[in-house]
Structure 1
Amino acid sequence: MKKALSIFLLFTILILSACSNTAIQQKSEKEGEEPTETELTWLEILEVYSQENLSAQNFFETYSKYIDQFTSTTARNMANEMYNKVVQHLITSKDNKRLYFLYTEGFIKHKEVLSKDLVKSVNQIVADVKIEEDAKKEKIKRILSIIENKNFDSLHSYIDDTLDKETLDSLLSYGYAIEELQKNGETNHFFDLLLSISPLYKGEKNKEIEAFVTKYLALDEWKEKYIVKINNRIMNQEYKGDQVKNIPLTAGMSKQEVVYSAWGKPLQIKIFPTDQGVSEQWIYSDIKHLTFDNNELTGWQE
């Protein structure tokens, strides 16, 4: 009886072992096979999004959506290589603010597939930009404190060349509008100051500023007239001929730097609100245009 039981157990173990080996072999074959048609389609989508920094967010979102659905090792490795490529391109092009946004907002969340060098670089860039952003927030708080205390003399003498021009102009115009309202009421100058405040400002006390402006202007009217005013300001600015230089475009250039370059002023400007702020397209011809995101040059086509 014991001998029969032993033989049965041995036979069972052999069967289970054979099944296990077969499963491992099948899995190994599965992992090593070529990508399926569906996987190839996903990889093509990722490849398109990996080409430009402007599409980096779409790339990371698409990668997160599909990566766990890849069944072949080949497809997974190709996706991971593109992931490294996109991060590396953001670093090489010095698009630090975009990299910071994508990281802090949780789009770059698969750091485990990055090389050790890239992880180190990303961590350093995020730390450096955070210091800059914290310093920017403190400056904004300082300006708002001056406005809250109605210290308008200090406001008129306030100078800062580190804040982006649109943010600084919006905050100063907000303070000047409060001053004008208190001194002279709802004058034409007061409404002109309101239209110098960006409706896309998302910083400290943005809701309070929006409530102040929309007390006197409808939100749609404010947005429409602000865009018209900014366009006119750019198109009608006078620039000396000797300021135009034959310098190459580089990511991160300001609008003024681009105008001072050989590209000069555009024929047309289109402004588009985005979740991260504002995107502008400067059009020079049917195929020649520039793209700005939050006042920084991010792409161009010649």
Structure 2
Amino acid sequence: MKYILFLCLSCSLLLTSCSDKGTQEKEKTKEEVTEEVKLLLEKGQYNNAGSLTRDSRGETENTSEIEYYNRLSDYIRLRELYDQKRYPTLIENYIDSPIKDKLLQKDIIEMLKYSFEVLINKERHVLATELYNSLDKESKSGLGDLNDKLQEIALSVKELEKNKQKQVREASSKSKIDQYLQYMKEGNYSKISLDSASNLTNFGKNFYHLSIAYDYFYNDSSINYIQGQDSLPEISLNAITEPLPEVQPYIDQLRVEINNKKQPSKNFGVKIGMTKDEVLNSSWGKPDSINTTTSAYGSSEQWVYGNGNYLYFENEVLVTIQN
């Protein structure tokens, strides 16, 4: 009988002990669970941390605590990605499921800051900027001056790219300049003008107008060079507002040749109603020959010039221009 009583007492004590143990386990707060999870993560025990979180979630019926443990699971995943150095994926996961709980936020912000720093240091600033822009306003504020840093880098990169493009253009321009100078020496002006017509850079404009001026001067004998008036070659030269050092000698040389070719100033051109004297003092000057016709209505003259140009006078007044 004594043995039976002893056995019952032992079983009772054992049940009480088990009951107390279960009560103690259920009394763990989410703060305590979180600390245990962090300790496990420090040791790299992600599976154990996940199991503890799932068990804690299953032991509570409190809706807010269940939601917290769901976010704690997300935190564990972020920490695993962080330790694996998968920083872009970490940020993307956070963007998809932001975690704002005070127990976790400090660690998460530190992970985010470091992840962005790694991307920036690896010159992946474009990706970093895209990810940063996808964050919510509250998360951005927690990252301090990261936005200023990204903008500063973007400006710096833009300036570097601009300088790089400039160097490429300059190298390309130098090659073209050498080619155009060779064409100038060969007198191949039309090739320069055709090639540079659509080039809106300063060097393109330089050689376009220069080649046109030289082409006029050496290949168009119909141009008049009158003192006090700009000829067609000079008008083209005047269009070169910012002469390149390589172009300036050609400009100076052509201006000298143009000035040597200019005639004393006369009234330029002719128009209906001019007298003979006015025509003689114009750029047309004296004709090669004159054909005179006399009739009952008066006299008329045909002044013949080269290249099929004719002037007709009636009663000493110019009435027709044919060219």
- TM-score class, shorter-chain normalisation, is 0.3 to 0.5
Structure showing greater Rg: 2
TM-score, scaled relative to structure 1: 0.34
TM-score, scaled relative to structure 2: 0.32
